[in-house]
Every structure is written in structure tokens, then in C-alpha cells.
Amino acid sequence: MKEFQLIESFFKGRGPVRRDVTLGIGDDCALVQPAENKSLAISCDTLVENVHFLADMPPKALGYKALAVNLSDLAAMGAEPAWMTLALTLPEADEAWLTDFSAGLFEIADYYGIALVGGDTTRGPKTINITVHGQVPQGKALSRSGAKVGDWVYVTGTLGDSALGLDILRGRQQASAENSAYLIDRHYRPTPRVLAGQALRALASSAIDLSDGLMSDIGHVLKASGVGATIEVGLLPLSAAMRDTVPLELGLSYALKGGEDYELLFTVSEAQKGALETSLGHAGVKFVKVGQICAGDKLKLRHEGEAFTPLLDGFEHF
């Protein structure tokens, strides 16, 4: 199958039709029309086989996850998804694989209303690169640099499930059939907190998505904001499947350093705590307070009044 036949068969004309796309797939560039008084939020992620995903990952799940991890970046900025491009590198044009991959990609694209407007295909080691574009009202974007001493630290969802699911796939952990299915699905199909990010625009002082693990990612917030933080490890939200599968100390370690949860970590001032309950409640997202921003530049982990040292190493891109 030739490149243009591949594009026509699996990608062109699929996904949401947006009125702000004036020229889509088929020309040298796409043309889009951003809304007035909106800033563009742009993010790019690359997934490489045997680095970011296992070679036997189901292609439908891979298509879904490849876009979900990008949408999580938009969520962390409070942006509304709009457009994406896809650069797909494959060792061969496997039609069955492409059918399932594109089905997973457009499942989540349809849900969030994001249009595929262009990209590229080429031969080589299996690599998926997606660039997403979103829009956010000018001056309202969330960032990593606004945390203040005294702000409270929150996270959405539950933490560590994806990393434990990956370890089950690798044969490093065992779980019941029901728990394995849940944890592996959390690894394959993360939920980008797009609505939560938008709800936090007027409330959060800083935000970041949890891609590399809580300890690594809150470190980016602390560095950007010039502050420290204390995390009460016992408050970290663990799923029932996590608690059923591993001892508590290991579960907390997965939550701190496991990575690929794609939940949001955000900080909120004391004055905004009440409004937070209402806003995220309307977004249908569970969240929990796990610590507080403090003076200095250190991250402190405490559990039952004592310092806590995780049992795991964090994820590194290189």
C-alpha cells in the first residue's frame, strides 16, 4: 500500500468536522481559524515501540493512548482541544493493524471533538508522533509557575494504576483476573482530564499532568514556582485494585513514582478551596488534597509523621 492510499483509506475524512478547519488533509499545510481572544496551546508527544509501549500492545489501545497523552497536556493548561496532526512511522503498511489503530484514534478524537488536519507517514521503526492544538481564553491558561506558599496540593483520580498494569503485562506482578483487567486498561486507556482542566482555569494557581510520576512532575512545579512542598503520602488516592494487589507501601510507591497516570496535579489557595468543590464536582472528576506548598525548594514526603522513601525508581525518557 502506497502512502497516499494509506492516508485515504484510514485517516482522510474521518473524525469530527470542525467549522474552524478551512483546509484539512490533502494540501501542503492545513488552514485553521482560531477563535477571537483565544491563545493557542500546542503540545507534541512521541511514542516509540519498546520505549513508550510494548510491541504487542493492541493497536486500538495504542491509537487511543497516543492521542490521550497529548490531550492530557492540553488539560493541564486548561485548554479546549481543537486540531491535531499525526506523523506515523511503520515498518510496513499492515492493513489490519491500521484499521484497529485508526479506530482507537478516532474513538477518542470524536469524543473530545478534535480534528485530524494533517501529518505524514513513512517507513521505519514503529513510532507515533501527534501534535495537538487547543484554545484557551487569553490570560487564562494554567501553568507550572504560579504555586504560592500556603497553597494546597491536589490530584485527580487514583494514582499508580498504569504503572502496576504495565508491571502485570511484563510479568513482574500478579493480580486477580478482575484486577488485572482494570489495571491494564488504566495503562492502555488513560483518561485525559480535559473538563477538569477547563474548570480549574479560574481556581488553580498551577497545574501539571502526571506523566512521569508525582515526584518527578511536582518537581517541575516547584522549580518553576520557586517553592517547596510537603506531601502526606497516606492521603494519596489508591484504587481498590491497587490495594488488593500489592502491599500498601508498594502501592504508595507506585502512586509516587509509577508514571503514565495522566491525572492532574494542581495547587489551590485557601481562598479558592470552597469554589473548587463546586467546579470539579460539575466536571464529574474525583480529586483529593495530598499536601501543601511550603517555603524553600525541597519536596518532603511524610507518612504517619515519618519521612517516606519510595520503593521504586521513576520513569526516565532516556
Q: Which residues are annotated as a binding site for Mg(2+)?
A: 28, 43, 45, 73, 120, 209, 212
Residue numbers in the known binding site for ATP are 119-120, 144, 211
Element of type H or E holding 6: helix 3-10
Residue numbers in the known binding site are 28, 43, 45, 52, 73, 119-120, 144, 209, 211-212, 260, 315
| Contact (Cβ atoms closer than 8 angstroms) between residue 290 and residue 231 | yes
| Contact (Cβ atoms closer than 8 angstroms) between residue 259 and residue 315 | yes
Please report, as a single letter, which amino acid is at residue 67.
L
| Contact (Cβ atoms closer than 8 angstroms) between residue 24 and residue 117 | yes
| Contact (Cβ atoms closer than 8 angstroms) between residue 200 and residue 142 | yes
Residue numbers in the known binding site for substrate are 52, 260, 315
* 199-202-208 Cα angle (round to 5): 70
Backbone angles phi and psi of 49, in degrees to 5: -60, 135
How many distinct helices (H) and strands (E) make up the chain? 10, 13
